[in-house]
Structure 1
Amino acid sequence: MISIENARVAIQNVEVLRGFTLRLRPGTLVGLIGRNGAGKTTAMRTVMGHLPLLAGKVSLGDTDLGRTPAHRRAALGIGYMPEDRGLVPELTVEENICLPLWVSKGLAVRERLDFVYGILPELREMRERKALLLSGGQQKMAALARALAVGTRVLLLDEPFEGVAPALSQRLSEVVGQLRGSGLSVLISQSDLNHSRRLLDEEVVIERGANVSEGATA
C-alpha cells in the first residue's frame, strides 16, 4: 500500500533519511521503531509531502507520491496523526476532525463522522468543545479521530502512546486493535514496543535514518 524506496531526505542541509526503505502491505499493522532522532517522524512527513525527497521514491499503490502535491495526499485516503497532535486550538473537536474531510470531495462528512464516533464514542460528548480546552490525552484522541476520518486506506500514527497516562494508552491500543481486519494499513512509530507489540504484524527498525532490521513479530 505504502512503499518508501531508498529515500534520502535532508532537513536544513542535514541528511536525516539515508536510503531508508519501508513497505506497508494492505491490511497490515507495522511498527516503525527507533530512538528519538532516528528518522521516524521524517519518514512520515515525507509520505505526507511535508519534506521533499533528495532521492528515492514514495508510492501509494500505483501512485507516485513524489509527483502528487502535498495538499492532495490526504484525499488519497491517507490519515496522519502527528506526534504534536497539530490541532487548531480555536476550532471545536468536530471541526478539527472535519478539516481534512472538507478538502476530500469523495468522502461524505456525516458518514465519516459516524464512523469515527462509532470507534471513539467518548469524542461525541465533547464534539463542541474547543481543542484548546482539552487535556493532552483528549487532544491525542481528537488527533487520532481526525486521522481516522480521512484515512480510508492508510493511517500514519506518530508516537500515539507517547506522553499519555497508562489508562489512555490502553484505550488507544484498544482503538488501534479494532482496526485489525478492517482493510486499513497502519504504520505506528514508537521509541519502544511496550504498548503495541501484540498488535503488530511486522516491525521495521530505523537508526540514523537507515534500516536496521525488518521482520515478522513472534
Structure 2
Amino acid sequence: MLSIEGIHVSIQSAAVLRGLSMTIPDRTMVGLVGRNGAGKTTLMRSLMGHLRPSQGRMLFNGCDLSTLASHERARLGIGYMQEDRGLVPELTVEENILLPVWASRTLSASERLAFVYGILPEIKEMRHRRALLLSGGQQKLVALGRALAVGTRLLLLDEPFEGVAPALSKRLAEVILKLKASDLSIFISQSDLNHSRRIVDLEYTIERGANIGSVQP
C-alpha cells in the first residue's frame, strides 16, 4: 500500500527526518511511536505534500507521491487527520467534512456524508454549527470525520488521542477499532501507543527522525 524509502526532510535548514523508511501493508493498522519532536508530524505532512523530501521516495501503490500536488493525494483515497485538527473556523461541520471530497472530484458527497455520519452519528447532530463554536474534543471528531470522508484506502491519523478527555479517547479508540475491520489501511502516530497497542498489526519507533526499530505486538 505505502512504502517510505529513506526520506530526508528539513524545515528551515534543520534536518527533521533522516533516512526514514517503513512500509504500511494493505488492510493493516500500523503504529508510529516517538516522543514529541521525533518527526512524526513531519512525516505525515510530507506524505500529504505539505513538506517535500530532499531525498528518498514515498510510493503509494507504486505511484510516487512527490510528483503529485497536495490536493491530488486526496483523489488517491488518502485521508488525513491533523494533530491540530486544521478545521476552517468559519465553515460548518458539514462543509469542513466535505472540503477534501470537493477536491477529489470523483466521490459522491451524499454517499461520503452518509458513511461518515454512520460511523460518527454524534457529529451529524452538529453538522450545521460552525467549527469555531465546537469544543476541542468535538473538533477532533470532525477532523476524523473529514479524514474518513475522503480516506477510502488509507487513513493518516496524527496524534488522535492528544489533548482529549478520557471519555473521548475511549470513543475514538472504538471508532478506530471498528475501522480496522474494514478494507482500510490505517497509519496512526502517538507519543505512546497505550491507546492502540493492542490493535495495531505493526509498530515502528522513531527517534530524531530515523527508525530505531519495529515490532509486531
Quickly name the TM-score band, shorter chain normalised: over 0.9
Cα distance in 1, alignment partners of residues 120 and 198 from structure 2: 21
Q: How many equivalent pairs are there?
A: 217
Cα distance in 2, alignment partners of residues 11 and 136 from structure 1: 28
Cα distance, 1:181 vs structure 2: 2.5
Q: Unaligned stretches of 5+ in structure 1?
A: none
Cα distance in 2, alignment partners of residues 169 and 153 from structure 1: 24
1:7 aligns with 2:7: yes
Amino acid at match of 2:75: A
The match for 2:76 is: 76
Amino acid at match of 1:111: E
TM-score (structure 2 length as normaliser): 0.99
CA deviations 1:53-93 (Å, max 9, x no partner) are 11000011111101112221111100000100000000000
1:36 aligns with 2:36: yes
After superposition, residues 67-146 of structure 1 pair within 5 angstroms as 67-146=67-146
Secondary structure of the 2:113 match is: helix
The match for 1:212 is: 212
Cα distance in 2, alignment partners of residues 125 and 70 from structure 1: 30
CA deviations 1:112-158 (Å, max 9, x no partner) are 00000000000110000110000000000000000000000100000
Q: Unaligned stretches of 5+ in structure 2?
A: none
CA deviations 1:15-52 (Å, max 9, x no partner) are 10000001100111111100000000011111001101
Secondary structure of the 2:112 match is: helix
The match for 1:188 is: 188
Amino acid at match of 1:159: E
Amino acid at match of 2:69: P
Cα distance in 2, alignment partners of residues 146 and 182 from structure 1: 17
Amino acid at match of 1:95: E
Task: Give RMSD over aligned pairs.
Answer: 0.6
Cα distance in 1, alignment partners of residues 78 and 123 from structure 2: 21
Cα distance in 2, alignment partners of residues 149 and 22 from structure 1: 26
Cα distance, 1:211 vs structure 2: 0.2
After superposition, residues 151-162 of structure 1 pair within 5 angstroms as 151-162=151-162
Amino acid at match of 2:39: G
TM-score (structure 1 length as normaliser): 0.98
Structure 1 residue ranges (4+ consecutive) displaced by more than 6 angstroms after TM superposition? none
Cα distance in 1, alignment partners of residues 44 and 178 from structure 2: 22
Amino acid at match of 2:11: I
